[in-house]
Amino acid sequence: MRILMLNNEFPPLGGGTGTVNRALLERFARVPRLEIDLFTSALGHRAEREQFAEHVQIYKVPVLNGNIHHSTNRELLMYAAQAWWAALLRQRAMRYDLCMAWSAVPAGAVALGLRRLGGPPYLVRVCGPDIPGFEERYGGVYPLLTPVIRATWHGAAVVVAKCDAEAAMIHAVDRNVAVPLGPNGVDTAGFRPAGIGDRGPPRVICVGSLIERKGQRQLIEAARRLRDRSIDIVVECVGEGDARADYQAYAQALGVADRIRFSGYVAREAIAQHYTASDVFVLPSYNEGMSVATLEALAAGLPALVTRTGGATELVAEGVNGAIFDWGDIERLSMLLAELAQDRGRLQRMGAASRERAAQFSWDAAAARYIELFEELAAPGYGGAAPGTNASRTAQ
């Protein structure tokens, strides 16, 4: 089975979507019957080709990227134009059985364009911000993109969401799109508990891009409220983003700069060490679609305090391995942190429960789910969706 993959980001470029792509690609590479070509963005200014595995090749198109952590609109457009042309030429030389697009835009739009020129049926795996309404900072862009996103969904044979909440957001935009689920996974062997510390202030970790959607500002404010109650915690923010300077200034203004550490970008090879050096994981995000960082924290044996977003209820059992709070509810976040800071036994029990929860989400299981979808799309007589329709056979 020959598969075309489209993703504008792939490590070291981008964030969670690229990380998931790599994890699944490693599993797909173990299946001899799958031959995969991935078209992604180059880190430099020249086209590149990488032999990822025996039957997996990566083609990288130059987008003149200025930041490895996120893409500008110009870079996304450059990717769409170049990936479309490169994939079209490759398709004509060696036809694909199906295509997997890692987001509705830009990858899904490329897949739709190829489909309308006789290309393969395609699957769209939504990434989160490509769902209208997911991210506040794109509020002004969504009205322009929504017709393109809906056309991409309708042209797809399958549109896959990672959790029920993400599927509900898709249905809020278009009830006619059938959405099977394909949850994320975690490598439990790569993230092992080191045990909750018995001494010193609790060590809180937040892993995510430093952007307003991820909510680190709320965590900084919670640290200030705890300080005012003479409850000491230390916070590590792992990640990079446009809001870093603003957050650092905010921590300084609140008088908690000595309690907040900004570690910046951490390579995948080193991220596990940061989890094991922590006691509690917090992700006060406005929206998520089953956070990879939360899964990693659970695998590392950390209690998780997360907002009521996509994937929260699947990953966190209230009072068992953490707690769920509403976006912007800094008082509840402060209360939860205070309770855990004063009860190390509870921290340890919740950490053990997190590890058990993480065991339910493996990359092998996630890969098997996608291979099942691949085989359905490539089955003789299926033929995929006609342009302008959504022909998924399985709805959630």
pLDDT in tens, 65-86: 878 888 888 999 999 999 999 9
Average pLDDT of the segment spanning 133-154: 93
Q: Residue 389 pLDDT > 50, yes or no?
A: no
> pLDDT tens digit string along 257-288?
999 999 999 998 999 999 999 999 999 999 99
CA dist 234 and 333 (Å) reads 15
Q: Sheet containing 203-207: which strands, arranged edge to edge? A: 260-264, 234-238, 203-207, 280-283, 304-307, 322-325
- % of residues, the chain, pLDDT over 70: 96
**82: exposed, middle or buried (C-beta count within 10 Å: 0-12, 13-18, 19+)?**
buried
> What pLDDT score does 393 carry?
38
| Cα–Cα distance list, 247 to 184, 209, 210, 285 (Å) | 29, 12, 8, 15
pLDDT for residue 386 is more than 50 = no
Mean per-residue pLDDT for 372-385?
78
CA-to-CA dists, residue 363 to 57, 124, 159, angstroms: 20, 19, 19
The pTM is what? 0.92
pLDDT, averaged across the chain? 93
Handedness of CA 300, 160, 91, 82 (dihedral sign): negative
Alpha carbons 161 and 183: distance in angstroms, whole number = 8
Mean local confidence (pLDDT), 347-361: 96
What does the pLDDT look like over 309-345, one tens digit per residue? 999 999 999 999 999 999 999 999 999 999 999 999 9
Q: What is the DSSP letter of 6?
A: E
Three-state DSSP at 52 gives strand
**Neighbour count for residue 319 (Cβ, 10 Å):** 11
The secondary element (H helix, E strand) that includes residue 167 is: helix 164-173
Higher pLDDT, 374 or 394: 374
- The vertex-248 CA angle with 243 and 251, nearest 5°, equals 120
Model confidence band, residue 394 (pLDDT cutoffs 50, 70, 90) = very low
pLDDT exceeds 90 at position 200: no
Note the pLDDT of residue 138: 86
What confidence category does residue 101 fall into, taking pLDDT thresholds of 50, 70 and 90?
A: very high
Q: Mean per-residue pLDDT for 51-74? A: 92
Cis peptide before 12 (omega within 30 of 0): yes
Lowest mean pLDDT segment, chosen from 136-140, 151-155, 380-384: 380-384
Task: Among 155-169, 276-290, 359-373, 380-394, name the one with the lowest average pLDDT.
Answer: 380-394
Burial status of residue 92 (CB atoms within 10 A of its CB: 0-12, 13-18, 19 or more)? exposed
Contact 34, 7 (CB under 8 A): no
CA distance linking residue 26 with residue 52, whole number of Å: 9
